[in-house]
């Protein structure tokens, strides 16, 4: 079994929803976890704070470059801690639930001809004994919709990338020195026990631009491995509002979600807000037991990338 798989298995066995026990001490399985809010002395020796910035609203965030301890190379993997301000988190949660899962975007239910229109409205207005349609929703695709059967991106964009995602993607990528034109976005809907197996994001036509990934709602244990599953992955606790940028050498690293950890207390989603309505209450309840992830990617090379490639080839 690969070491990556062994770490995934370890998290499958963890039944608690926090890395700390009742006494406030780390559970044994979590001793290596990087909690960006509480780095250990040892972690501070290899996790570099590269900058502080404001990506959106008034959220001042710290940027850490997280490199694998074995290689110690700075390989383009960054976490922007709390980069999304509370308003943006609430706005994105609402959009994931009532806009991004609707046509013209597609979802995992679409290829099965089971796409459910107004899924969030149906879920929240159903009778108590009726099944929750949200249980069937795993992902939504925006922009260029990757075709998993043909294993290819289509020539035409299936839907637009919302301006907010374009802007956030660009701001986060620029904050760590990368550029991105978001052409495809994926929204992942995680339930309390959902995981995402280790994989590489390797279906785009270019890998010269980073994947920018936004976390909203419940906490998660994110695993970031190397270029093979034989490298020990680092384990990172991601919270609502955190942004991960995987560019440069880390663009093709194995990664995934080993555990989703529902938490009752998410600062951006208090139980009551001034003037809050039923929609907010439903969203607040949802994010406390589920996690949303939105990630944006550039699929095709930028014209200037192609130009510089051509020049490189000519001169070599």
Ligand X SMILES: O=C(O)CCC(=O)C(=O)O
Annotated binding residue at 281? no
Min dist CB 24 to ligand X, Å, is 26
* Token pair for 108: 């995992």
Of 57, 130, 127, nearest in space to 92 by CA:
57
Closest residue to Fe ion, Cβ-based?
A: 201
Which of the choices ligand X, Fe ion, none does residue 298 contact, using the CB cut-off of 5 to 8 A by kind? none
User: Between 261 and 280, whose beta carbon lies closer to ligand X?
Assistant: 261
Min dist CB 142 to ligand X, Å, is 12
Min dist CB 92 to Fe ion, Å, is 18
DSSP state of 27: P
C-alpha dihedral (236, 237, 243, 246), degrees to nearest 10 = 10
Is residue 201 within the footprint of Fe ion (CB under 5 A)? yes
Query: How many alpha carbons lie under 13 Å from residue 43 in its C-beta half-sphere?
Result: 17
Which of the choices ligand X, Fe ion, none does residue 196 contact, using the CB cut-off of 5 to 8 A by kind? ligand X
User: Between 206 and 282, whose beta carbon lies closer to Fe ion?
Assistant: 206
Contact 113, 287 (CB under 8 A): no
Min dist CB 225 to Fe ion, Å, is 11
Which of the choices ligand X, Fe ion, none does residue 213 contact, using the CB cut-off of 5 to 8 A by kind? ligand X
Min dist CB 75 to Fe ion, Å, is 16
DSSP-assigned states of every residue in 223-254: EE--SSTTSPPEEEEE-TT-EEEE-GGGGG--
Binding mask 25-64 for Fe ion (x = CB under 5 A): ----------------------------------------
Would you mind telling me the total number of residues written for the chain in this entry?
316
User: Between 89 and 213, whose beta carbon lies closer to ligand X?
Assistant: 213
Annotated binding residue at 201? yes
Strand order in the sheet with 255-261: 196-199, 255-261, 219-224, 234-238
Residue that the structure tokens 């690293």 belong to: 253
Query: How many alpha carbons lie under 13 Å from residue 198 in its C-beta half-sphere?
Result: 25
Distance CA 313, CA 316 (A): 5
Is residue 204 within the footprint of Fe ion (CB under 5 A)? no
Query: Which segment (128-136, 185-193, 197-205, 281-289) binds Fe ion by CB under 5 A?
Result: 197-205
Min dist CB 127 to Fe ion, Å, is 37
Which residue(s) pair with 60 in the sheet?
A: 54
Range list of β-strands (E), 42-183: 47-54, 60-66, 77-81, 106-107, 139-143
Annotated binding residue at 199? yes
Min dist CB 196 to ligand X, Å, is 6
Which of the choices Fe ion, ligand X, none does residue 294 contact, using the CB cut-off of 5 to 8 A by kind? none
Contact 242, 82 (CB under 8 A): yes
User: Between 158 and 210, whose beta carbon lies closer to Fe ion?
Assistant: 210
Residues that bind ligand X (CB under 6 A): 186, 188, 196, 201, 213, 222, 255, 257, 293, 295
Write out the binding residues for Fe cation: 199, 201, 255
Binding site for Fe ion (CB under 5 A): 201
Write out the binding residues: 199, 201, 255
């Amino acid at each position: 079994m690969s070491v990556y798989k062994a770490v995934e298995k370890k998290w499958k066995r963890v039944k608690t929803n926090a890395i700390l026990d009742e006494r406030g001490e780390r559970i044994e399985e979590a001793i290596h976890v990087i909690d960006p809010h509480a780095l250990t002395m040892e972690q501070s020796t290899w996790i570099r704070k590269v900058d502080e910035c404001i990506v959106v609203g008034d959220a001042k965030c710290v940027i850490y470059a997280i490199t694998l301890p074995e290689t110690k190379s700075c390989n383009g993997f960054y976490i922007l801690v709390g980069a999304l301000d509370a308003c943006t988190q609430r706005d994105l949660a609402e959009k994931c639930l009532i806009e991004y899962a609707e046509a013209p975007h597609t979802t995992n239910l679409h290829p099965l001809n089971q796409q459910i229109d107004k899924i969030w409205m149906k879920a929240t207005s159903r009778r108590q004994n009726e099944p929750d349609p949200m249980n069937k929703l795993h992902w939504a695709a925006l922009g260029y919709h990757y075709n998993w059967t043909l294993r290819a991106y289509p020539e035409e964009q299936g839907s637009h990338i919302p301006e907010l995602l374009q802007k956030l993607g660009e701001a986060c990528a620029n904050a760590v020195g990368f550029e991105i034109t978001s052409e495809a976005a994926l929204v992942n809907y995680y339930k309390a026990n959902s995981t995402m197996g280790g994989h590489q994001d390797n279906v785009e036509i270019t890998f010269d631009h980073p994947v920018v990934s936004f976390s909203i709602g419940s906490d998660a244990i994110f695993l970031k491995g190397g270029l093979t599953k034989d490298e020990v992955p680092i384990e990172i606790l991601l919270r609502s509002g955190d942004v991960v940028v995987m560019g440069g050498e880390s663009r093709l690293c194995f990664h995934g979600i080993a555990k989703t950890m529902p938490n009752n207390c998410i600062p951006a989603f208090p139980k009551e807000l001034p003037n809050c309505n039923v929609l907010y209450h439903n969203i607040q309840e949802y994010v406390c037991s589920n996690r949303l992830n939105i990630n944006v990617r550039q699929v095709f090379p930028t014209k200037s990338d192609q130009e510089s490639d051509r020049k490189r080839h000519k001169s070599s």
